[in-house]
Structure 1
């Protein structure tokens, strides 16, 4: 299926416009001359572009390819994932964002040093770097491979073009360019998916016909209330387990936290979370609808022998090219949609990796570094990670079935990092030793279950899934088969497993919940055994008092005891705690400085005072907003 001139024109236009955004922000305004401007867009972004950037970062090309194929294979049960979006975005908006924003952080892992110590911060940073470096090569290579399987689009030409363009605008334009290109790429993704749905529906005979065929073949799923965590997809697995997955992505992931911190005020950051919610629902509905249209289309149109050859990861590409081949320009729009997903995810990875490397690993050792030099190093780091991404894409092409483990690593690491932040925010007694041991235990548990699942789970066996027309696809141990096994998990695991085999069959949607809980339990146990942290020595600005806020009807004296000795930011113990001014961090990492630091657009009234306690110096500001 060859591309036409119109298709290439639309695809090239996507790359040119993305590069132009980076050049514009490199040459206009401050020209990305400061670290704050390059890494945090000078904390000047409004909520809507931030929300669309959050959405684009989450909606990678892997999801664009995988979700429709999941719906085709297993039905619409995956749609219930939308039930987790409410809590998965509400909790970050009211728990994580206020703490991160009021501390005026640049890297989320700075919080770990303020709450624990520098060693915990470095451990968290290295874990995040490992997670993103492994994943970004896969995100770049997988869609190019899937597209190459069904078109004449050159594989390595696509990989190199995407990688270099993304590196260019990320290095030149900083976070502001990344956010605005995400906005543009989000529009392209919506347009591409809508084009596929509209044309596909027309060729099937209308949406009524699509729904009729899906119903007749049992693809419209009911509510499965089975509480068994070893079932791959149930309502509880998707709606409850998905909350922890969302928290690991939208609560503590640096790529998302950095967007919150780029907002011009805390309220704008919270509004971005609210705005993402309806957008996520629309994206999920479009993906599910695309899968149903694909299923209905192949019930009435048999695949040719040539079309049957691509691996399962290319099903969606095969469908799109089959449906849009007679409409010049629309295949190019789909390619732009697919690669927009990759560009948005990869550019976010470059920028966040440059941020944590600069702020957590380099700058603490050179506190007197000039602003111009720090900005230059940040840009070089973004460039370096861009080139590293191309190298990881090449390694992905040589990994074969091992790639399944590489893709799974992203999910394995997210849960332990979520547990580490929750341990610090919700449990004042946790100490640095408990935090490090808990993180190691959580990672060990994650890799034990994840690798055990890959090795022992029967769905990795040679029994290959069927192609859309019912043709058996012979297993060949190729990269594409490995990606398909991970994205689609198409062969359900048999029942009546026992022992470790059943343990390894834990639904992937529970990974974040299980691994984060492991970090918290082990961290608390080690903290109690090695001497818990005294509440008076904990900076109250790093703690979220869960119980006092949930039990706000209790008398103030009782709620004060629930704080475990941590000072309350208010004197009257009322439920509504005013915003605190952010302290300024000195070169040695302590919190100090004059009262101030409220976000732009907020007015404070009242008197503040500085206090040194337990080795920490911090500013307490009583305000009325």
Structure 2
């Protein structure tokens, strides 16, 4: 499917502008590693907030959320409704904590509580998670781009990866935050333009979309029953709360943004702005999916036979972008998809290189020159970017990249979140108790997260996880948290008896 020249021009201009803008920060005079990691704590709260928002959103969200709404209903929107609860906890506890300890690493606190092993464990888990995340996003970004532009998937992965590596590794957090802010604006503008065009394309306007949506139960938030094996309202709400606690509490991406703000008050403002902005924008994505469903119900003749199958929902939005949008707007929408993916990848490159410097390279060394710090940050960013490209290329042979990503991320994130909460709320918990609790938790998380992937239906049925996959991080975190307290009580009781 060949794009008009004007769309290619719009798309190319956007990419070139982002690249040169990001690289420009590399040439600023008297830059320090603190500038690279926290932007010298001089960035405005609105830009940091936009960057937090862009970290929430990826190209997966841009395409998958409309696809979910088209396929079923608004059940997944419940995830967004959990964000304010997590943001309250973040603003009250997490932001003050990280601003107080003044560490550039999210995992320094764990070393203070439980020793070097806890920091090493969390840092390694974070790096592995980010590699899987970047690889997945690069791969999933290549799929619609292949459909939209007809380019080879491997070439798209390599080209996009190199593109992001250049400005993320060279520009530092300032380049990431300012390009995130620009890309967030482009993303929202593109999505709004798309919804408006769909509404005006309906014979009876927005009312017809609502009418068809109600007829087919498209606005449902899911069942309110207590079935823990299904994607009910409550399962998604609890899952969203724990995932967002993980984001706000232990994710280096977010912690760096807390530290990039001028003051604690500004950090809190940016946290509220970025997290709450995601709610209406995700609602916009679901509205697009429902509007597309109504549009093609009214005009089924515009949908080719290979897309008539409802299971092809993820391909509907890209098809609409190419075939129904005016010239120029199509280029903007493709740029929006790239914007969402690039903002997430660039954030991971920057935060991953920061973790390598602060948690591994600088520890145990009394003094490192500014030149050496920059060299480590830049080289680490390039290496992480290259590894993510290799991971993405490997995913071209995986049956379901999303399933693989969810399984891996649940194993890594659940253990670290449980350890962090144990350290934060369990002031009397010691290293040994935490270590045993994490070991037990990881075994539970691995069982819950990996058995659905490796065990086929009917095989070892009694051994398989009976709960919904989304509850893996919930159960794993609670196991670590509760076992930590239980072990502490048992060991202290034993000591008291012996004394």
Question: Which TM-score applies when normalising by structure 2?
Answer: 0.92
Task: Please state how far the C-alpha of 1:128 moved relative to its aligned partner.
Answer: 1.0
Residue in 2 that maps onto 1:513: 474
Residue in 2 that maps onto 1:22: 22
Kindly tell me: are residues 366 and 251 of structure 1, through their superposed partners in 2, closer, same or farther at Cα, counting changes over 3 Å? same
Residue in 2 that maps onto 1:358: 357
C-alpha distance in 1, partners of 2:450/2:35?
A: 41
C-alpha distance in 2, partners of 1:402/1:18?
A: 28
Task: Please state how far the C-alpha of 1:50 moved relative to its aligned partner.
Answer: 0.7
Contact in 1 for aligned 2:45/2:270 (Cα 8 Å): yes
Q: What is the correspondence of 1:156-195 to structure 2 with a 5 Å cutoff?
A: 156-195=154-193
Q: What is the correspondence of 1:311-350 to structure 2 with a 5 Å cutoff?
A: 312-324=313-325, 327-350=326-349
Task: Please state how far the C-alpha of 1:222 moved relative to its aligned partner.
Answer: 5.8
Task: Give secondary structure in 2 for the equivalent of 1:336.
Answer: helix
Q: What is the correspondence of 1:68-107 to structure 2 with a 5 Å cutoff?
A: 68-107=66-105
Task: Please state how far the C-alpha of 1:264 moved relative to its aligned partner.
Answer: 1.2
Residue in 2 that maps onto 1:477: none
Task: Please state how far the C-alpha of 1:141 moved relative to its aligned partner.
Answer: 1.2
Pair member with larger Rg:
1
C-alpha distance in 1, partners of 2:36/2:90?
A: 24
Contact in 1 for aligned 2:79/2:237 (Cα 8 Å): yes
- Bigger helix fraction: 2
Task: Please state how far the C-alpha of 1:280 moved relative to its aligned partner.
Answer: 1.4
Kindly tell me: are residues 213 and 267 of structure 1, through their superposed partners in 2, closer, same or farther at Cα, counting changes over 3 Å? same
Give the stretch that moved more between structures: 262-271 or 39-48. 39-48
Task: Please state how far the C-alpha of 1:403 moved relative to its aligned partner.
Answer: 6.0
Residue in 2 that maps onto 1:522: 483
What whole-Å deviation, never above 9, does each CA across 1:392-450 have from its counterpart, x for those lacking one? Answer: 11111123347622343224422222111110010012112222332333232222112
Task: Give secondary structure in 2 for the equivalent of 1:244.
Answer: helix
Residue in 2 that maps onto 1:4: 4
Residue in 2 that maps onto 1:128: 126
Contact in 2 for aligned 1:430/1:524 (Cα 8 Å): yes
Contact in 2 for aligned 1:141/1:396 (Cα 8 Å): yes
What are structure 2's unaligned runs of at least 5 residues? none
Instruction: Select the structure with the greater relative contact order (CA < 8 A; seq sep ≥ 6).
Output: 2
What whole-Å deviation, never above 9, does each CA across 1:29-88 have from its counterpart, x for those lacking one? Answer: 43xx32111111112222111111011011011111111111112212333333212111
Residue in 2 that maps onto 1:230: 229
Q: 2:281 aligns with which of 283, 286, 291?
A: 283
Kindly tell me: are residues 204 and 338 of structure 1, through their superposed partners in 2, closer, same or farther at Cα, counting changes over 3 Å? same
C-alpha distance in 1, partners of 2:92/2:221?
A: 33
Residue in 2 that maps onto 1:553: none
Residue in 1 that maps onto 2:446: 447
Q: What is the correspondence of 1:193-232 to structure 2 with a 5 Å cutoff?
A: 193-205=191-203, 206-221=205-220, 224-232=223-231
Q: What is the correspondence of 1:541-556 to structure 2 with a 5 Å cutoff?
A: none
C-alpha distance in 2, partners of 1:210/1:410?
A: 37
Residue in 2 that maps onto 1:428: 427
Kindly tell me: are residues 19 and 102 of structure 1, through their superposed partners in 2, closer, same or farther at Cα, counting changes over 3 Å? same
Residue in 2 that maps onto 1:416: 415
Contact in 2 for aligned 1:67/1:288 (Cα 8 Å): yes
Contact in 2 for aligned 1:88/1:250 (Cα 8 Å): yes
C-alpha distance in 2, partners of 1:163/1:355?
A: 19
Task: Please state how far the C-alpha of 1:312 moved relative to its aligned partner.
Answer: 4.9
Kindly tell me: are residues 378 and 114 of structure 1, through their superposed partners in 2, closer, same or farther at Cα, counting changes over 3 Å? same
Q: 2:255 aligns with which of 254, 257, 260?
A: 257
Task: Please state how far the C-alpha of 1:308 moved relative to its aligned partner.
Answer: 5.6
Question: Which TM-score applies when normalising by structure 1?
Answer: 0.74
What whole-Å deviation, never above 9, does each CA across 1:143-195 have from its counterpart, x for those lacking one? Answer: 21133135424433332232112111111110010000000010111111112
C-alpha distance in 1, partners of 2:157/2:253?
A: 22
Residue in 2 that maps onto 1:374: 373
Give the stretch that moved more between structures: 154-163 or 191-200. 154-163
C-alpha distance in 2, partners of 1:8/1:150?
A: 11
C-alpha distance in 1, partners of 2:327/2:337?
A: 17
RMSD: 2.4
Kindly tell me: are residues 411 and 193 of structure 1, through their superposed partners in 2, closer, same or farther at Cα, counting changes over 3 Å? farther
What whole-Å deviation, never above 9, does each CA across 1:438-474 have from its counterpart, x for those lacking one? Answer: 233323222211222234575x99xxxxxxxxxxxxx
Contact in 2 for aligned 1:242/1:510 (Cα 8 Å): no
C-alpha distance in 2, partners of 1:130/1:222?
A: 33
C-alpha distance in 2, partners of 1:272/1:457?
A: 45
Q: What is the correspondence of 1:573-588 to structure 2 with a 5 Å cutoff?
A: none
Q: 1:119 aligns with which of 117, 120, 126?
A: 117
Task: Give secondary structure in 1 for the equivalent of 2:363.
Answer: helix
Aligned residues between the structures = 490
Kindly tell me: are residues 354 and 58 of structure 1, through their superposed partners in 2, closer, same or farther at Cα, counting changes over 3 Å? same
Kindly tell me: are residues 276 and 127 of structure 1, through their superposed partners in 2, closer, same or farther at Cα, counting changes over 3 Å? same
